[in-house]
Amino acid sequence: MKFLHQNRAFLALLIPFMAIPWIILGDFHLLLFNFSHNRLEMGGFGIEMGTYSLIALLLLLGIGIALISTLTLSRFYCGTLCPNTFFAHLLTLFSRKKKSILSKIGGFTLLTALASMLAFSVVAYGISTNELIDAIAHLTFAGWLVILLSLLMIAEVYMVQGWYCAYLCPYGAMCAILPIEDRLTYRFDDPSSECTECEGCVKICPIPSLDIRQGFDIRCIQCGLCEVACEKTFAKNPNITTLISHDQRSSLRAGGRGKGFMIALIAITLFMFAGVIFLSNSNRLDSCRLENQHLHTNSFKGNQ
């Protein structure tokens, strides 16, 4: 099925992303920026950190990962890993002209369920899952955050998806500052001038006034909807399949990268590691572990 093929990278990462907040190793989580107990939990260890250090750490990791992704994947991320594109692809299955109102309601329900699960998982990286369920039940801050994130995702997909991708997304802005043309793998190729000018590719494109036939445009999010539209145009033509195609080469290996590029990647990675070490108070790691063992022992005694 084309939908599964188009979104295979997103689906492959979605399951581990949603599972990680539930995994506990001993006293600590596999990965948790634990704001309610002021500590970073990683690989079964806990490191005490203040709230502002945790926020700074999250910002540092977010910017570092976004920079590395911009330099390696560029807009390839938008078309294959971004939840917005996944939701947009999902809605095309339910909202074509001939589909019934029931189908559209089904699409909306599925989107709402997926967006809520994703929002829950995002917030669950900052508070344990049990506490988060409790926060949703009692509508405290973390619970409202899940609701707000879900609503924003749904509203964004239905109302401003392409506009957001082109003009508001911070990741898109980084791609525009560091544009890498060979990362754009959807291309228009029409050496024999077979284009029927049906404009199917332009009409379906979520980005305002983007025409892939005009060549390189960094706003293209690599969603592939134009390829599907063009395939439909030539569905009854035995000689042509599509004029827009996806370059199958590995996006990571495409094009040559100079030494400066590698130095930039290594520098960003080292900077992130240095930031993690600087922000964490590793001397207090043992005391934190002992404290938890102590609590564990006390609660065990209390239960006896």
The single residue among 91, 142, 220, 254 that binds ligand SF4, judged by CB under 6 A, is 220
Residue closer to ligand SF4, measured from CB, 57 or 223 = 223
Residues 234-293 that bind ligand SF4 (CB under 6 A): 243-244
DSSP secondary structure, the chain, as one string: -HHHHHTHHHHHHHHHHHHGGG-EETTEESEEEETTTTEEEETTEEEE--HHHHHHHHHHHHHHHHHHHHHHTTTHHHHHT-HHHHHHHHHHHH-STTS-HHHHHHHHHHHHHHHHHHHHHHHTTTS-HHHHHHHHHTT-HHHHHHHHHHHHHHHIIIIIHHHIIIII-HHHHHHHHS--GGG--EEE--TT-------HHHHH-SSTT--GGG---TT-----HHHHHHHHHTTT-SS-S-SEEE--S-TTTSS---HHHHHHHHHHHHHHHHHHHHHS-GGGHHHHHHHHHHHHHHHHHHH-
User: How far apart are CB 99 and ligand SF4 at their closest, in Å?
Assistant: 20
The residue within the footprint of ligand SF4, chosen from 91, 180, 201, 218 (CB under 6 A), is 201
Task: Report, in Å, the least distance between residue 17 CB and ligand SF4.
Answer: 24
Q: Is 73 a binder of ligand SF4 (CB under 6 A)? A: no
Looking at the Cβ atoms of 131 and 231, the one nearer to ligand SF4 is 231
Is 185 a binding residue for ligand SF4 by CB under 6 A? The answer is: no
Which range, of 41-49, 137-145, 215-223, 284-292, touches ligand SF4 by CB under 6 A?
A: 215-223
Q: Is 222 in the site for ligand SF4 (CB under 6 A)?
A: yes
Binding site residues, ligand SF4, CB under 6 A: 186, 188, 195-201, 204-205, 207, 210, 212-213, 220-226, 229-230, 233, 243-244
